[in-house]
Amino acid sequence: MSAYRSRLQPGEDVLHPDTWAGRIPHTGGIAPRLRFGRDRWFNVLWLHPIGFVVLITAVAIAKGLHNVAAVEDFMARYPGTTAPTGREAGRGIPAWVGWQHFFNLFLMIFIRWVIFYSLAEGSDGGTYYDAHAIEQMNHHLTMLAYDMNDAPLTYGHGAPLRLRNELQHGFKHVKWVDAIEFVTHFREVGGGYGGYNEDHEYYGYRQSL
């Protein structure tokens, strides 16, 4: 063993924490920054507390303005609804209400799923519901039926309102529709799998016909 040890030599390539990789100095991370002008930098992380302070200030100002006589008079003159009177009935709405509706229309581009809630409970308890892709709601065979064969829809067929989406399996045709909700995704509804059956059984929302 001693003879073997005497033949051992230190290796030529040795990694040392102080000299490895060309002696790159050890530095910590740098927060993202924005440059203003030629030599002024602003730490982006400060946007969080600044934004919070601005939001609180804006809410406080809005609360204070709500009690100002001029603002109360404006809200009384433009409540956001129109009362039909003679020939002027239904002629336009205040501009600020129009912008509000425009903003609502803008938000509609984020809608991807439609949730149909039933008046009935599921087999395991809880409200029965189902999620359908917004694209399928425009199909010519998709409908909300309130009658059948020129007669009012019967209770057994889902009265007072039933969903028919012929691109989906029958169990997804929600009967006794109670409410409709438009969402960006169904993960926040129910168990998050796209329907009552998907939450409690082995179905997938991609199993379209």
- Residue with more model confidence, 191 or 107: 191
Question: Does residue 129 lie in a domain region?
Answer: yes
Q: Span 41-70, mean pLDDT?
A: 80
Q: Is residue 20 part of a domain?
A: no
Name the residue type at position 45: L
CATH assignment at residue 189: 3.90.420.10
pLDDT at position 192 over 70? yes
Query: What's the mean pLDDT in 27-31?
Result: 58
What pLDDT score was predicted for residue 76? 79
Residue 63 domain-assigned (yes or no): yes
Residue 177 banded pLDDT, cuts 50, 70, 90:
very high
Measure the CA–CA gap between 201 and 204, rounded to whole angstroms. Answer: 9
Quote the pLDDT of residue 125. Answer: 86
Q: How many domains does the chain have?
A: 2
Q: Interior CA angle at 113 toward 111 and 114, to 5°?
A: 105
> Is 82 within the bounds of a domain?
no
Domain limits at 56?
A: 47-77
Count the Cβ atoms, other than its own, within 10 Å of residue 74.
14
Boundary of a domain, candidates 60, 77, 94: 77
CA 147 to chain centre: 34
Residue 113 lies in a domain: yes
In a domain, 68, yes or no: yes
Gyration radius (Cα) of the chain, Å: 32
Is 51 inside a domain boundary?
yes
Q: Three-state SS for 189?
A: coil
Prior bond of 32 cis (ω within 30°): no
Residue 131 pLDDT: 93
Which phi and psi (to 5°) does residue 17 adopt? -60, -20
Q: How far apart are CA 89 and CA 46, in angstroms?
A: 51
Q: Are residues 70 and 146 in the same domain?
A: no
Residues 6 or more apart whose CB falls under 8 angstroms from that of 190 comprise: 126, 129, 196, 199
- Do residues 185 and 126 share a domain? yes
pTM over 0.85: no
Residue 194 burial (10 A CB sphere; 0-12, 13-18, 19+): buried
Contacts of 91 (CB under 8 A, 6+ apart): 82
Q: What is the mean pLDDT of residues 21-32?
A: 57
101-157 pLDDT, tens digit each: 777 777 778 888 999 999 998 888 889 999 999 999 989 989 999 999 989 889 998
**Tens-place pLDDT, residues 156-172:** 988 999 999 999 888 88
Does some domain include residue 14?
no
User: 26 pLDDT band (50/70/90 cuts)?
Assistant: low
Q: Are residues 67 and 113 in the same domain?
A: no
Place of tokens 């199909």: 139
> Considering the chain, what percentage of its residues have pLDDT values greater than 70?
66
Domain shared by 128 and 195, yes or no: yes
